[in-house]
A and B are shown apart, each in its own frame.
Chain A
C-alpha cells in the first residue's frame, strides 16, 4: 500500500535545480518575464523618451536609430510606449492576481469550513460568476470614469468566485483529514485550524491558479483598452496601442505588431511558468510525467 499524497514531504528547494534542468522552457519563460518586469520598473532608464510627447513632424516613421521601433500616427516613440505599456500590463496582472487570490482565499476558507455559511456564500459567488467581466468593466467605466483602478476592480470581481471555488474544494477534502480532526479534539480554535492546518494545503494550487488569473487579467485589460473601456488613452498600454495601430495597419504595421507580440509573449511566458509551477508543486501530476 502506498502512502497517500498528503503524507509526502513538503516540496523543497533542494530539488529546484534538477527540475529547472528538466524544463528549460520554464527557465526561458521565467527569464523573459523577469526582463519584462525589470523593463517596466526601470522604464525611464530603458533608453526611452516621454511616451506621451508628440512630434507631428515624425509621424509614422519606420524603425530607425532614433526611433527603434518607429513612431505612431502622433509621432510618439513606439519603443517608449511599449516599455511604459508593460507597466500597465504588469500592474494589472499582479494586482488582479494578488487581490483576487487574497480575497478568494479568505472567503473560500471560511465558506469551506463553516458549513452553514457555505450555501449563502456560494450562491453569491455563483451570482458574481454570471457577470461577464467585460460588460462589468464597461458599466463601471461609464459610472466612475476610466482609470487603472476601475479596470483592476472590473477584472478582479469575476475572478474571485473561481478562486473561492478552488480554495473551497481543497478545504472540503482537507477538513476530513484525521490530522484536522485531531486538531479539533486537542482544542485548537477555528482561526488557527484554518491558518495552520488547512491553509498550507491551498497554497500550491493557488499559486498555479494565480498565474492563470494573471495571464487572463493582462489579456482582458488589453481587450478592454482595445474597446475603449479600459485604461484611459492618456496612459500608454498595449491594448491602447493595438487599438490605435489597427486603423493604420496597412501603412504602419509596426504600430500593431510590437504591442501584439509583447502581449502574446508575456501571456505565453506566464502560462508556461504556471504549468511549470503546477508540475513542481503537484507531486501527483509530476510523477505522471
Chain B
C-alpha cells in the first residue's frame, strides 16, 4: 500500500485554562491514504474541526495550542516547520474548504481572481497561463459559463456554485490532501448531493486524499471510504465505512447511529380527527413592490398556501431554503403580516387583525425557533422568561412560578433551573426551556421552526421525543417546519412539500415517502444522503 498522504500521530491540542476539559484533541492517531476519503464524524465539541485546523496550522492563536504529537504530510513532519514552509504547503500540497462558502470567499473579489490568487502566490505562471488554468479548474468543478463566472462576484452565485468555486480554488494546484470541514452543511440537500458527487469524482480522478469533517451520518454513508468517530477529542473507533455503519463496535457509535432518524416513517396511530386548529386559505406574502424610487423587484416568498392542522396532529412543512416554509410559519404566528389570504385560528381569521385585536389569539399560537442560543434573552433568568407570558395575560406571579416549575419537570429539567441563566444550559436544554415557555401559554397550535436543526443527533432524538410527548399530552396541533426529511419522517403525520413559495404536494407521511407524486418531492427524497443505510435501528 502506498504511504499515507497524511498521518496524524498522537496529536494533542490544549484548550485554554478554565475550560471544561484539558484537551480539545487528546491523543488522536489517524491517517489518510492517497485517493481515500476519511470521514471524521462527531458531535459538537468532539474536536473534529480542531483536528483540521491543527493540520493546516490554523489553530486560533492564544486559544488553542498543539502540545504534542506529529503531523506528517507526504513524509514531511510539518508539526515543527516554519510558518513560511507551512504557507508554501497550504494551497500546493494541502488545501481546505469550509462550511460557509459566502463567508469563506472574499465578497469584493471576483471568483476568478480568488482562484487566480492561489496560482499567483505559489507559481511563476504568466497571467495568460494562469487564466487558462483557472478556467480549466472551474470547468472541472462543473460550473456553467465559466468565462462569465470568472468575472462574477460571490454574491451573484448560488450557494452551490460558491462552494464549487471554493473547491476549484482548493484543487487548482492539485494538492495531495484536501480537508473539507462540513462543506455541505450550509447547502440544501439537492445541492449537497451534487457537491458530494463532485468531490468524489475530482478526488478519484486526481488521487487526492480527503479528510472530510462532518456531523451527518447520511453524508458519511454517501462519501466515506473510512470513518473515524470522535468524542471529547478522542478517537472512539475507526474502520471501513460499511463496517462502522453496519457493525459498530463501540456503544457510543451505536448510540449515534441509532439516533440518526430513519427515512422510513414509523407506523403512526390512526388518523387524527381533532378539531381544526389552523386553516390557511390562499395565504401569500410578497416582498418589495413599489418604493420611493420606482418599481422594485417583487419577491413572492409564499403564494397560495392552503394548509390545515388539526388538534393532536403534526403537520410537517418540508422544503429547501427559499421555499417559503418559514414565511408561512411566521405569517401564522403573525410575526410578519401576510399580503393576502386567510389564517383561521380556531375558526377566526387573524390574517388582518390589528395588534390589540390579535392579543387573545397570540397565546393560542406559540413558536419554538431554530437557534437555541438566541431564543432566550441572555440577560434574564429562565424563570423570568417563563413567567413573562402568563403574567402578560394577568396571571399572578406566584401562580405562574408554580406552573413554570411543573413544566420544567415535564420537559425533563429540574425546577431549580428557573433561577439560572440561559448560558448555563446546553443547546438541547435551552430548546427544552423554549418548549416549556411555549407551553406556559397553553397554546392550541405549536409551531416548531427548524426547532431541532441546530442540535446534535443524540440530543435531536430526545427533543423530538419531547415534542411528540407534549403533542399527545396537551392535544396540540403542531406545525413542524424542517429541511430535514429524516426528522420529518419520524415526527409528522402529514407532510406538505414546498418549493419556491408554493405547495407542490401534500399527503400522509408514509404515503408521500413511499410514492412521491411531484417530481420535486421525488428529487428531494432522492437527494437525502445515506439512503442505502438503515439508520435509526438499534
Residues of A within 8 A of B (CB): 1, 3-4, 6-10, 177-179, 181-190, 192, 196-197, 200
Give the chain B neighbours of A10 by CB distance below 8 A: 378-379
Give the chain A neighbours of B392 by CB distance below 8 A: 186-189, 192
- Say yes or no: A179 contacts B441, CB within 8 Å: no
User: With A10-B378, A10-B379 as given contacts, are A186 and B366 in contact (CB-CB < 8 Å)?
Assistant: yes
- Say yes or no: A187 contacts B374, CB within 8 Å: no
A14 smallest CB distance to B (angstroms)? 14
Question: Most chain-A CB neighbours within 10 Å: which of B373, B392, B423?
Answer: B373
User: With A6-B378, A7-B373, A10-B379 as given contacts, are A185 and B362 in contact (CB-CB < 8 Å)?
Assistant: yes
Q: Give 3 nearest A-B pairs by CB, closest first.
A: A186-B389, A178-B369, A7-B373
Interface size on B, residues (CB 8 A): 34
Compute how far the CA of A196 lies from the CA of B362 in the bound complex, rounded to whole angstroms. 19
Asked whether B457 is an interface residue with its Cβ less than 8 Å from the other chain, the reply is: no
Give the chain B neighbours of A1 by CB distance below 8 A: 44
- Say yes or no: A200 contacts B422, CB within 8 Å: no
Give the chain B neighbours of A8 by CB distance below 8 A: 378, 423
- Say yes or no: B389 contacts A179, CB within 8 Å: no
Secondary structure dominating the interface of A = helix
User: With A179-B374, A200-B379 as given contacts, are A186 and B369 in contact (CB-CB < 8 Å)?
Assistant: no
| Chain A residue nearest in CB terms to B447 | A185
B82 smallest CB distance to A (angstroms)? 26
- Say yes or no: B367 contacts A181, CB within 8 Å: yes
Asked whether B483 is an interface residue with its Cβ less than 8 Å from the other chain, the reply is: no
Give the chain B neighbours of A6 by CB distance below 8 A: 373-374, 378
Asked whether B371 is an interface residue with its Cβ less than 8 Å from the other chain, the reply is: yes
Compute how far the CA of A159 lies from the CA of B502 in the bound complex, rounded to whole angstroms. 49
Asked whether B377 is an interface residue with its Cβ less than 8 Å from the other chain, the reply is: yes
Asked whether B285 is an interface residue with its Cβ less than 8 Å from the other chain, the reply is: no
B354 smallest CB distance to A (angstroms)? 13
Give the chain B neighbours of A188 by CB distance below 8 A: 388-389, 392
B287 smallest CB distance to A (angstroms)? 14
- Say yes or no: B367 contacts A177, CB within 8 Å: no
- Say yes or no: B441 contacts A181, CB within 8 Å: no
Give the chain B neighbours of A177 by CB distance below 8 A: 374
6 A-B contacts (beta carbon < 8 Å): A7-B378, A8-B378, A185-B333, A186-B362, A186-B441, A187-B392
- Say yes or no: A4 contacts B362, CB within 8 Å: no
Report B349-395 residues with CB < 8 Å from chain A CB. Answer: 355, 359, 362-363, 365-367, 369-371, 373-380, 385, 388-389, 392-393
Asked whether B418 is an interface residue with its Cβ less than 8 Å from the other chain, the reply is: no
A86 smallest CB distance to B (angstroms)? 37
Asked whether B437 is an interface residue with its Cβ less than 8 Å from the other chain, the reply is: yes
- Say yes or no: B378 contacts A186, CB within 8 Å: no
Compute how far the CA of A31 lies from the CA of B44 in the bound complex, rounded to whole angstroms. 46
User: With A185-B365, A186-B437 as given contacts, are A179 and B377 in contact (CB-CB < 8 Å)?
Assistant: yes
Compute how far the CA of A196 lies from the CA of B375 in the bound complex, rounded to whole angstroms. 15
Give the chain B neighbours of A189 by CB distance below 8 A: 392
Compute how far the CA of A185 lies from the CA of B377 in the bound complex, rounded to whole angstroms. 14
Compute how far the CA of A196 lies from the CA of B388 in the bound complex, rounded to whole angstroms. 10
Contact of A7 among B393, B422, B434 (CB under 8 A): B422
Contact of A9 among B369, B377, B421, B441 (CB under 8 A): B421
Compute how far the CA of A71 lies from the CA of B109 in the bound complex, rounded to whole angstroms. 65
Contact of B375 among A3, A9, A179, A184 (CB under 8 A): A179
Give the chain A neighbours of B367 by CB distance below 8 A: 181-182, 185
